[in-house]
Amino acid sequence: MRKAFVLAFLLLLSPAARANDPSAPIRFEETGAAVGARMLHHTREFKGRYADVLGMFTSGGAAVAVGDYDGDGDEDLFVTDSGTGRPNHLLKNQLIETGKLAFVDVAKAAGVAGGNDERDIVADALWFDADNDGHPDLLVARFGTPILYRNLGNGRFEDVSVKAGLTKFGNTIAVIAFDYDNDGRLDLLFGNYFPPVNLIDLPTTHVLPNDLDAAANGGGVTLWRNVTAPGSHDIRFVEVTERAGLSGQTGWTLDVGHGDLDNDGWQDLYLADDYGTDRLFFNNRDGTFRDATKQALGRLDTRKGMNVDVADFDRDGWLDVYVTNITDEYMKECNMLWHNNGDGTFTDLAKETGTCNTLWGWGAKFGDFDNDGWLDLFAADGLRSAGKENYIPVLLEMIIKPGVDFSELGSWPHIGAMSWSGHQKKKLFRNMGTLAFKEMAAEAGVDNDRDGRGVALGDFDNDGRLDIYETNAGQESLLYRNVSPGTAHWIELSLIGSKSNRDAIGARATLKAGGVTWIREVDGGNGYAGQSSKRLHFGLGAAAKIASLEIRWPSGLVEKLPAASVPLDRLTTIREGSGVVNERKSR
Amino acid sequence: MKILRRIPVPLILLLAAGGLAFAATAYEDTMKAVAAGNNAAALPLFETALAADPDDLKSANEYRKAVIRTKEYDRAIAFFGKLTAQHPQAAYAWLSFGYAYVDKIPDAGSITQVILANSALTNFSKSIELRKTWIALFTLGNSYLYWPKVFGRAPLGVADLEQAVALSRKEPKQRSVYVRAWIALGDAYWKTEQPEKAKSTWRQALELFPGNPELKARLERDGDELEKYIYDQLDPNRRVDTNLAPLWEE
């Protein structure tokens, strides 16, 4: 009833009630191999009696992080592998140098290829400027201990993990950088899947979820405060999980996301937990968070949270949250599109908007792929595509066994060459501007059936159209170049913090054009296994000129930019307190 | 009344016995508590009554309704578990035990739903072993239909539903509640890829139960539309109507 009311209210009052033009196509071309960005991922192979089950439970690790690590004006990619001894890939974009989109793997020369050793498994990656020196540093999250690579600014990186204090073991599967205390330094939140046991050298066989709908024996999260001295390259972190009020989390965290959900200028958190309850935390503005899950979401869910992305999909000035879960023939959970009601509560509109079903969900990202002014959604899916035999009936026998201990490795049947929710077609939901989305992945050319994991968006060829990079577990990654023929205008903003963190993570841009108001926030790695570009991308739809642009920086400074200083169809760089410092034409 | 004669204690007598065991005034007091919205207070009263007469399906039904309102599912499961352990020959106690699991399903997570559904099947089967009643046969057969196709459970429900329909056809009067078994039998044929047999079953049922909207809805649809309709009806996230009152109210 409440949901119906909210929907009706939104439809009546929101300026969003303008239908999109369904005739303008969205088109992508898969060009990964052609541009040197197709990377084969390897999942970790375990040894011993439980090798099969452990391999099944750790079949992630295919991640991508987008960032301009060399500051040359085009987006580079860091793509992970997880196989023992397998190198990660630093794909340097040669667009600026050569005028053509092409990547070359410089990971070994840069010193960032390692990480997959006998004890540690690479699971995620993140670009963030830990020391505010203008050179993006690289965090490689692992089932093990993380690696923090400091960017030396000369194409090489130095492993500073131990000096930085990042030596705590955890089975980290997701990491974000954000400034939770608005002190101008980027902090780290690790989402940990398994409890902190070494899966390669098992101290116990009770390492799996103790409940498949409400597990309470996972790795939870850890929060690390950046205490690097201003101007210093001696990067330091200290753990503040308990002090921040996050130590009680024992879920199987699969993804973490941040955003200013209550419009107070402070970053809030959403934790997507597999095998049970997601959590929403509001920032208390004093270095602590409060768990507002029950009040905000109305319930404690039992779903398999896989992804968190945060954006204002309905242009009402409040950030919404998209969470993927598992929906298949045998498990009909439905995703959650948490519409922000603007009063500290959220209403799930996944069913009503048509974004409920992305099968076995993984990474999913909001992005305006046709520059029509409405945020669309691309979602990866698919767990394991192998032989014809289906693992589900085999699994059922274990699940219904009386008194079975799910946490015990020996309880789980071997999967061998069986498939499990495999061969699933990816989904692209076009935002129709009427609180409804239309699925059109096949039409857009992105309906591959690989075992998707991470999704990262970025304008890799600087043409004003958002491209997609998709990682796949145990399979090759894909790069979808956006070739949509639309003619709508766009702008892209690159924000540089001065008093705020230099990456401007948490900065909010409010753009007005053609009677429409958009908000975008710079995020530090939202979305499962995929960090998108930190550039803010706006499709302007029918608007032909900008009315106003305002940046609210994490420092609290609100900066109004003259509309004329932000040209259309350009990437514009804005420095905190200095306004526009640079603009570049599209190709 | 052949269906009722097939069970050792006919339903009416059973209900009467329940009424005797659960003294009329106590029952009225309990129902007053329920009517006043004081479900929590009613639960122990129902439990006392059922302990005295474990086969009292009417009290068990009212108890489960109060449980659904209070969401005290685990309490009911524990109670019926104990009751059946103490009275292993009480067929309706086993049936109610199964329903106690079913009642929890819509409020449970997707994996727990499977576990609950399987436990329900076990208890419904036990009830049938003790006494082959229309309600138990229909309930067990119908329960199989909620399982996703990949688990291959639907074929197991066909025989039970055929028996339930056969039992009801021997009755001189076709009580409206019997239509449920006809609908479910058609659904079972449909889920086991016998669409013509499904349609034929629903058509036959419509002659016996003219105007039944669920039968009409199925007969009006074909192909994907029918598939969607049936799957919507068999969605485990929707609360199944487990109120057995039509058995004795008609």
Which of B110, B115, B150 is nearest residue A392 as measured by Cβ atoms? B150
Residue B35: pLDDT band (50, 70, 90) is confident
Residue ranges of alpha helices (H) inside A84-167 are 95-98, 107-110, 161-164
Q: What is the 3-state secondary structure (H, E, C) of A290-343?
A: EECHHHHHCCCCCCCCCEEEEECCCCCCCCEEEEECEEECCEECCCEEEEECCC
- Is any Cβ of chain A less than 8 angstroms from the Cβ of B235? yes
Does B74 contact chain A (CB < 8 Å)? no
Q: Which residues of A touch B110 (CB under 8 A)?
A: 213, 302-304, 326, 331-333
Query: Per-residue confidence at B3, pLDDT binned at 50, 70, 90?
Result: very low
Integer Cα distance of A491 and A428 in angstroms: 22
Per-residue model confidence as pLDDT tens digits over B98-115: 999 999 999 999 999 999
As given in the structure block, the two tokens for residue B208 are 């016996």
Q: What is the DSSP string of B23-50?
A: -HHHHHHHHHHHHTT-HHHHHHHHHHHH
Using a CB-CB cut-off of 8 Å, the residues of chain A touching B152 are: 393
CA pair distance A245, A540, nearest whole angstrom: 40
The pLDDT of B43-54, averaged and rounded, is 95
What is the reported pLDDT for B5? 34
Q: Can you give the pLDDT at residue B6?
A: 37
Question: For tokens 């404690």, what's the residue?
Answer: A300
**What pLDDT is stored for residue B179 in this prediction?**
96
Greater pLDDT, B17 or A147 = A147
Interface check B109 vs A, CB under 8 A: yes
Please count the other Cβ atoms lying within 10 Å of the Cβ belonging to residue A445: 17
Judge whether residue B220 has pLDDT over 70: yes
Place of tokens 């400074």: A557
pLDDT score at B31 = 84
Residue A408 carries which DSSP code?
B
> CB contacts < 8 Å between A and B, how many?
45
Q: Which of A274, A397, A400, A420 to mutate to test the interface with B (most CBs of B within 10 A)?
A: A400
Q: Is B152 on the interface with A (CB under 8 A)?
A: yes
Residues A76-116 have pLDDT tens digits of 999 999 999 999 999 999 999 999 999 999 999 999 999 99
Nearest to A213 among B109, B152, B237 (CB): B109
Nearest residue of A to residue B108, measured between CA atoms: A302
Q: B18 pLDDT exceeds 50? A: no
Q: What is the pTM of this model?
A: 0.93
Judge whether residue B85 has pLDDT over 70.
yes
Selecting from B114, B148, B237 the residue whose C-beta is nearest the C-beta of A329 gives B148
Give A341's Cβ-side CA count (13 Å radius).
18
For residue B236, list chain A residues with Cβ-Cβ distance below 8 A. Answer: 332
Q: Does residue B11 surpass a pLDDT of 60?
A: no
Contact residues on chain B for A400, CB-CB shorter than 8 A: 114-115, 118
Region B194-200: mean pLDDT is: 97
Determine the pLDDT at residue A5. Answer: 63
- In the sheet with A508-513, reading across from the earlier edge strand, the strands are A516-521, A508-513, A546-552, A558-561
| 8 Å CB contact of B148 and A333 | no
pLDDT value, residue A16: 41
The pLDDT of residue A23: 62
Where do we find the tokens 């899966």?
A199
Which of B150, B152, B235 has its CB closest to that of A332? B235
Block means of pLDDT (10 residues each) for chain A, 587 residues, are 61 49 83 98 96 94 98 97 98 97 98 96 98 98 98 98 98 98 98 96 95 97 98 98 97 98 98 97 98 96 97 98 96 96 98 98 98 98 97 96 96 96 98 96 98 98 98 98 93 98 98 97 98 98 96 98 94 97 62
